[in-house]
């Protein structure tokens, strides 16, 4: 199963990183990869949320509605998006690595028969988006 992965160390407590990550209505202040399309729909296990993403700046936003699979405050957020022949699972994980030091991990697992067709076109841009979001989260939380 193809996957994408990025991690970054953030000089902040896990709770601060978590707050920035799950309060999606504030993403517009720092996040240029994922966008909140409906602030009235908070992350809640078992529910769907309305999001969009923009892999690269020249690209139009791609709308999607993932279902929240797992939500453990200050530790992990995982969602899944499915379309005919395609499945994408994102996981955001926070690990405490010292006092006021957090490792942020974002990985995406792709599967389904359509993945073979789309992956060559998406892989590099999607990986850039994951890395960009990690850097922007780090900057936002550390400057707060």
Tell me the pTM. Answer: 0.94
* Confidence at residue 119, expressed as pLDDT on a 0 to 100 scale: 75
Give tens-digit pLDDT for 43-94.
999 999 999 999 887 888 999 999 999 999 999 999 999 999 999 999 999 9
Give tens-digit pLDDT for 4-15.
999 999 999 999
Q: Are 56 and 33 in contact (CB under 8 A)?
A: no
Domain extent at residue 65: 3-143
Sequence-separated (6 or more) residues with CB below 8 Å from residue 102: 9, 10, 12, 13, 14, 17, 94, 95, 96
* Confidence at residue 2, expressed as pLDDT on a 0 to 100 scale: 79
Q: Which of the pair, 121 or 60, is modelled with greater confidence?
A: 60
* Confidence at residue 28, expressed as pLDDT on a 0 to 100 scale: 94
Domain count, the chain: 1
Look up the CATH number of the domain holding residue 15: 3.30.530.20
User: Residue 92: beta bridge partners?
Assistant: 77, 106
**pLDDT band at 26; cut points 50, 70, 90:** very high
* Confidence at residue 78, expressed as pLDDT on a 0 to 100 scale: 98
CA distance 41 to 127: 26
What mean pLDDT is predicted for residues 92-111? 97
Neighbour order of strands in the sheet with 67-72: 3-10, 101-111, 86-98, 76-83, 67-72
CA distances from 78 to 67, 70, 92, 101, 118 (A): 9, 5, 6, 22, 22
CA distances from 57 to 6, 82, 106 (A): 19, 24, 20
Q: Say whether pLDDT at 121 is over 90.
A: no
* Confidence at residue 124, expressed as pLDDT on a 0 to 100 scale: 85
């Amino acid at each position: 199963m193809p996957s994408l992965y990025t991690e970054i160390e953030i000089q902040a407590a896990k709770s601060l990183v978590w707050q920035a990550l799950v309060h999606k209505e504030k993403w517009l202040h720092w996040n240029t990869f994922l966008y909140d399309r409906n602030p009235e729909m908070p992350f809640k296990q078992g529910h769907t949320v309305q999001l969009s993403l923009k892999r690269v700046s020249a690209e139009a936003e791609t709308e999607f509605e993932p279902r929240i699979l797992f939500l453990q405050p200050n530790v992990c957020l995982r969602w899944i998006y499915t379309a005919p022949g395609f499945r994408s699972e994102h996981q955001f994980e926070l690990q405490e690595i010292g006092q006021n030091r957090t490792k942020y991990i974002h990985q995406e697992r792709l599967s389904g028969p359509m993945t073979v067709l789309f992956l060559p076109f998406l892989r590099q841009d999607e990986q850039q988006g994951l890395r960009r979001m990690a850097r922007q989260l780090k900057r936002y939380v550390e400057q707060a």
